[in-house]
Amino acid sequence: MDNETREQIALTRFKLISPVLAEPGRVQNEYFRTQAAKRHAFPRYGSRQIKVSTFKSWLKAYRKKGFEGLKPKHRKDRGRPRKIEPQMMNAIRVTCRAYPHITVKKLHEKLILENLAGTPPIHYNTLLRVVKEEKLLEFMDKRRDKRTAFETDHVNSLWMCDFMHGPQVTLGRKTHKAILCAVIDDHSRMIVGHAFAPTETVLSLTMVLKDAFLAFGLPERLYVDNGPSFSSDFLARCCALSGISLIHSKPYDSPSRGKIERYFRTVRARFLSTLTEKPSLEELNASFSAWLNDDYHHRLHSGINERPIDRYHRSANHTQITRPSKAELDDIFLVRHERMVNNDATISFKGRIYEVPTAYIRQRVDIRHPVDTDKELYLYDKDIRVGRLRFVDKRQNARTFKPCQSQPVISYANAKVEK
């Protein structure tokens, strides 16, 4: 299995455990039981159903070793059967039909006592999974989702992020629709990240998140919808490297993101309604920042019955906030690409030619750059930074060029000629 496949599998595992990274054990168990009832698509392995114990082992590995702990390793149970034999499965079905109200624990003990559990005996977690998959026992009612009002205890416990389509703006000589990407802190209702951009892409999203992390620290949870930008592997990787729980709402469930949706309604009513001319993108962002600082953050918020700026500072004084440096954030928000090195030890990236060490000629290399600029290009080898790549300077290379000489040069100036 190559490194790219291992990383894709690790990202898939992180997406599954991410929603409950910061939740207590009871919430984790309920979530894992729900996910264990579904089938999940994995790179290389295809569609599979995962046991609760496996989810817990992934969570434990991530907390101990970080993102590296989620990458697959060689199985330790090679050569052992992984499926239940038909005879044992029939015994399980018959026993459950005879005792429909028995617990799985008693069922496991009964199968072992009557020598029906196989050799070696079926594991309890395996039996529990089979019973739930086929609904063999009536020991549990169906779950029903309930929507209740909630509020986190402190700042940076939960951030909500979403896009809003805004007004038309001028960008150069063209007109574009400005799209607002905003991040709201659930406890204080502070807008910790914001920017209007001409596109609704993962690049626009991650630039806003990077500025928000630098200014306000890292949140424990990030709650988003299921749009392409929020479901990207790049965002999942950034959250995995930052230790942030990435949570996706149910599809088409806008009420679950009610706070950010209500904020967008405020933006339309109190900010966009005041625009009289078609501004440029830079002017719109400047006006919006001024409106946030002068109006929204210092106005009484009916949801919390105080000003967002006051609640934020009061909570921040009693909360331990993780504040990464700009260099750490640059490493987290690195966009990755692959290129094949030419015979002249160069690569082409977005119309620019860069020099690469000659040891990588005719090899596929990993290059990365910060999310907010694609001109700082770095070469990585096995996740280790080799160095920053520079533009090709052909004149400088010509000054240091030394042609290869296949044979020694012989001078005949002082040679004696024999007669």
110-121: pLDDT as tens digits? 888 888 877 778
Residues 191 and 268 in one domain: yes
Q: Distance (Å, rounded) from C-alpha 191 to C-alpha 193?
A: 6
Is residue 355 in some structural domain?
Answer: yes
Is residue 244 in some structural domain?
Answer: yes
What range defines the domain where residue 192 resides? 159-316
pTM of full prediction above 0.85: no
Once rounded to an integer, what is the mean pLDDT over residues 221-244?
A: 92
Task: Work out the burial of residue 240: count CB atoms within 10 Å of its CB; fewer than 13 is exposed, 13-18 middle, 19 or more buried.
Answer: buried
Q: Distance (Å, rounded) from C-alpha 302 to C-alpha 306?
A: 7
Residue 5: pLDDT above 70? yes
Residues 92 and 212 in one domain: no
Task: Work out the burial of residue 202: count CB atoms within 10 Å of its CB; fewer than 13 is exposed, 13-18 middle, 19 or more buried.
Answer: buried
Alpha carbon 43 to chain centroid, angstroms: 16
Alpha carbon 353 to chain centroid, angstroms: 31
19 SS3 class:
helix
CATH of the domain at 188: 3.30.420.10
Domain total of the chain = 4
Residues 278 and 390 in one domain: no
Residues 30 and 128 in one domain: no
Residues 181 and 296 in one domain: yes
Task: Name the strand (E) or helix (H) holding 210.
Answer: helix 202-216
Residue 197: pLDDT above 60? yes
Q: DSSP characters for 237-296?
A: HHHHHHT-EEEEPPTT-GGGGHHHHHHHHHHHHHTGGG--S--BHHHHHHHHHHHHHHTG
pLDDT band, very low/low/confident/very high, at 51 (cuts 50, 70, 90): very high
Is residue 337 in some structural domain?
Answer: yes
Alpha carbon 265 to chain centroid, angstroms: 28
Q: What is the pLDDT of residues 330-346, one digit of tens each?
A: 888 888 889 999 998 89
Residues 277 and 389 in one domain: no
Q: Distance (Å, rounded) from C-alpha 196 to C-alpha 171?
A: 12
Once rounded to an integer, what is the mean pLDDT over residues 250-270?
A: 86
Residues 294 and 387 in one domain: no
Is residue 29 in some structural domain?
Answer: yes
Residues 171 and 293 in one domain: yes
Q: What is the pLDDT of residues 201-217, one digit of tens each?
A: 898 999 999 999 999 99
Residues 207 and 296 in one domain: yes
Q: What is the pLDDT of residue 292?
A: 95
pLDDT band, very low/low/confident/very high, at 369 (cuts 50, 70, 90): confident
Residues 34 and 126 in one domain: no
Q: Distance (Å, rounded) from C-alpha 138 to C-alpha 140?
A: 6
Q: What is the pLDDT of residue 136?
A: 83
Q: What is the pLDDT of residue 83?
A: 65
* Cβ atoms within 10 Å of 321's Cβ, excluding its own: 13
Task: Beginning with the edge strand found earlier in the chain, give each strand of the sheet holding 245-248 in spatial order.
Answer: 191-197, 174-185, 159-171, 221-224, 245-248
Q: What is the pLDDT of residue 111?
A: 86
Handedness of CA 255, 258, 262, 268 (dihedral sign): negative
Which amino acid, 273?
S
Residues 222 and 368 in one domain: no
Residues 27 and 58 in one domain: yes
Q: What is the pLDDT of residue 147?
A: 64
Cα-based distances in Å from 308 to 108, 160, 186, 317: 55, 15, 10, 14
